[in-house]
């Protein structure tokens, strides 16, 4: 138990443990309310946790516990451990894996709620020992109960997968969260000032073009200006006023010069308020100007990693504005960033699973897959044809239909439909395979990833709209989930070769970023590239691109 949820700053208040179904214990360390009795000192608590670490440690959300113990007691994670939160996620990745929800779902048992024990404005340190002991001991007791349940009910292959891949991955994420990534504060401050100047200039231009001063960030006020004062054509009007979302404004770009300025303002304002300012504030809190994210292993149903506080997987990737932000992320003195990115991993999985002869041949010959697709659909490949082919290649994996393709590449729906038909004619096996995923999802109630993780779908009680959504998600899970499996396997294997000269900092879906001592960067990059490309034998080669740079913006 701790003083807060942020593992970087939270202080340990006590810990609980149990080793059978009958008894659970709470060890108070730092309850500080008036009249609190004498408690175990930190030195003895460190010894006690060290003893527990000698056995097999079972926990719920162990990464958090390991970080608290490391930051407060200086102990590294144990060699042998099992995490019931991971097992719960493997058993059903769509459902909540939190302790309270899990106890209710598995046993219809109501656990003592945190908010019933810790009053508003207090921390766990303010909780009387008697209440704290009941709450914390129940946590330990129910966690052991979870473990025994999953041991008896979870598919043996999934239990094995947890041991070989998911549990070791906890330590990979633990390391990455401890490492953090450096922000150049001066560079970010300069960028913020430049953005402020640009925002002021855009604001003046918008006021001048619209003939009125108003709050540009107010959707309501903007709607009135555009559709009542400037009399621009409107399609969508909601209960609260006119819709001014990006898709609406994008259609109006030719209608009035103010639209382009509003879109530019919004992009820059979002960059400033969502990324630049919060990232600088976080960097200022750390002596080394490093920021630390939290990775969520169970945050998605497909198995893709997500991150929060801050979400570093969402840092914009395209355009000059995005590059400006990414250039503020720098390797420390004497080190470089080594970036490795899986090339078209989901399309390679499509070739692997579908065994489509044309697609297999294209990848085996290391052809430009989008150009090859363009030739199959249009008979030739120029920039425009290749762009359409690329949208189809990636879109079909995400269940994209003709309407979405038409919007995406600015063609008619009839053209989009015809291009998709031509695609399936050229790659005949793919259509059958994508259909087979939907059929097996309906028949079995689940789909499986490359390593056998399952995602469940309730088709029986679904509405027609839900059925269409489930079909898209089923197809998407096979590819996105299998890609996540491969990246995870690679990360666990690469971790074994890391030392003081090379640290893993970030995973952005198919890309890994390391901070490596300059003299080892090339050699490390090539060795890691080999590991990543040989991690699993598919029917087509796995390929990665390797880049080395001093900041994130220059990695590609």
3-class SS at 276?
helix
Residue 419 in contact with residue 412, Cβ under 8 Å? Answer: no
Give the C-alpha distances (Å, rounded to integers) separating 307 from 71, 298, 402: 20, 10, 32
Tokens describing residue 81: 């451990």
pLDDT band at 449 (very low <50, low <70, confident <90, very high): very high
pLDDT exceeds cutoff 80 at 237: no
Cα 349 from Cα 136, distance rounded (Å): 45
Q: What percent helix, strand, coil does the chain show, rounded to 5?
A: 55, 15, 30
Q: What's the pLDDT tens digit per position in 256-282?
A: 999 999 999 999 999 999 999 999 999
Q: Nearest 5°: phi and psi at 8?
A: -75, -35
The two beta strands, 81-83 and 57-59, are parallel
**What is the secondary structure of 505-536 as a DSSP string?**
EEEETTEEEEEEEGGGHHHHHHHHHHHHHTSS
Estimate the crossing angle of helix 84-91 against helix 129-153, to 10 degrees: 50
Higher-confidence residue: 8 or 489?
A: 489
SS in 3 state form for 160-186? HHHHHHHHHHHHHHHHHHHHCEEECHH
192-212 mean pLDDT: 97
**What is the secondary structure of 227-266 as a DSSP string?**
IIIS------EETTEE---HHHHHHTTTT-HHHHHHHHHH
Cβ-proximal residues to 215 (8 Å cutoff; 6+ apart), any chain: 221
Cis peptide before 310 (omega within 30 of 0): yes
Tokens describing residue 222: 């903007």
How does DSSP classify residue 78?
Answer: P
Domains with residue ranges and CATH for the chain: 14-154 (3.30.420.10), 185-288 (1.20.1060.10), 312-345+488-554 (3.30.70.370), 346-448+460-477 (1.10.150.20)
Higher-confidence residue: 150 or 228?
A: 150
pLDDT exceeds cutoff 90 at 52: yes
Q: What's the pLDDT tens digit per position in 345-385?
A: 999 999 999 999 999 999 999 999 999 999 989 998 888 89
Supply the pLDDT for residue 236. Answer: 66
Q: Quick check: pTM over 0.85?
A: yes
Q: How far is CA 23 from the centre of its chain?
A: 38
pLDDT band at 410 (very low <50, low <70, confident <90, very high): confident
Cα 495 from Cα 175, distance rounded (Å): 9
Backbone φ/ψ region at 323: left (φ over 0), alpha (ψ -120 to 50), beta: alpha
Report the half-sphere exposure of 514 (CA within 13 A, side-chain side). Answer: 32
Tokens describing residue 506: 């970030």
Give the C-alpha distances (Å, rounded to integers) separating 357 from 75, 147, 221, 354, 389: 53, 45, 56, 9, 18
Estimate the crossing angle of helix 257-270 against helix 185-210, to 10 degrees: 150
């Amino acid at each position: 138990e701790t003083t807060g949820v942020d593992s970087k700053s939270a202080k340990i208040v006590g810990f609980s443990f149990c080793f059978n179904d009958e008894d659970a214990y709470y060890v108070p360390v730092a309850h500080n309310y008036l009249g609190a009795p004498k408690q175990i000192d930190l030195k003895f608590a460190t010894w006690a946790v060290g003893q527990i670490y000698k056995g097999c440690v079972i926990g719920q959300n162990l990464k958090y516990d390991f970080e608290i113990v490391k930051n407060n007691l200086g102990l590294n994670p144990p060699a042998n451990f099992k995490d019931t939160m991971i097992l719960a996620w493997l058993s059903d990745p769509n459902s909540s894996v939190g302790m309270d929800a899990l106890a209710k779902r598995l046993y219809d048992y109501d656990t003592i709620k945190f908010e019933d024990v810790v009053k508003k404005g207090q921390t766990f340190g303010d909780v009387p020992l008697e209440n704290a002991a009941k709450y914390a001991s129940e946590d330990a007791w129910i966690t052991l109960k979870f473990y025994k349940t999953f041991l008896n009910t979870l598919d043996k292959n999934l239990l094995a997968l947890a041991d070989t891949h998911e549990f070791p991955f906890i330590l990979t994420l633990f390391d990455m969260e401890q490492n953090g990534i450096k922000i150049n504060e001066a560079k970010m401050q300069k960028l913020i000032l430049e953005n402020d100047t640009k925002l002021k200039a855009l604001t003046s231009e918008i006021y001048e073009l619209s003939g009125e001063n108003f709050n540009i960030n107010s959707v309501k006020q903007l709607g009135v200006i555009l559709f009542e004062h400037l009399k621009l054509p409107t399609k969508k009007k909601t209960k609260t006023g006119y819709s001014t979302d990006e898709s609406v404004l994008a259609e109006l770009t030719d209608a009035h010069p103010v639209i382009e300025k509003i879109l530019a303002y919004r992009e820059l304002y979002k960059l400033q308020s969502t990324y630049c300012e919060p990232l600088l504030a976080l960097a200022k809190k750390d002596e080394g100007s490093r920021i630390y994210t939290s990775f969520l292993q169970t945050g998605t149903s497909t198995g893709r990693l997500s991150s929060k506080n801050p979400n570093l997987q969402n840092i914009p990737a395209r355009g000059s504005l995005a590059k400006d932000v990414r250039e503020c992320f720098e390797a420390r003195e004497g080190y470089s960033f080594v970036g490795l990115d899986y090339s078209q991993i989901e399309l390679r999985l499509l070739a692997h699973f579908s065994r489509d002869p044309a697609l297999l041949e294209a990848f085996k010959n290391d052809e430009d897959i989008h150009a090859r697709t363009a030739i199959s659909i249009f008979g030739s490949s120029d920039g425009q044809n290749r762009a359409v082919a690329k949208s189809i290649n990636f879109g079909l994996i995400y269940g994209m239909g003709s309407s979405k393709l038409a919007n995406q590449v600015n063609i008619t729906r009839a053209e989009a439909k015809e291009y998709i038909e031509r695609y399936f004619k050229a790659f005949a096996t793919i259509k059958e395979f994508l259909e087979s995923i939907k059929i097996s999802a309906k028949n079995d109630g689940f789909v499986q990833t490359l390593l056998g993780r399952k995602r469940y779908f309730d088709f029986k009680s679904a509405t027609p709209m839900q059925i269409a959504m489930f079909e898209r998600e089923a197809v998407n899970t096979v590819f996105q989930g299998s890609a996540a499996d491969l990246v995870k396997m690679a990360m666990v294997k690469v971790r074994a070769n890391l030392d003081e000269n090379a640290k893993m900092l970030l995973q952005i879906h198919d890309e890994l970023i390391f901070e490596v001592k300059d003299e080892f960067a090339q050699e490390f990059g090539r060795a890691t590239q080999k590991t990543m490309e040989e991690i699993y034998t598919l029917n087509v080669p796995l390929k990665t691109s390797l880049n080395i740079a001093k900041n994130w913006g220059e990695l590609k």
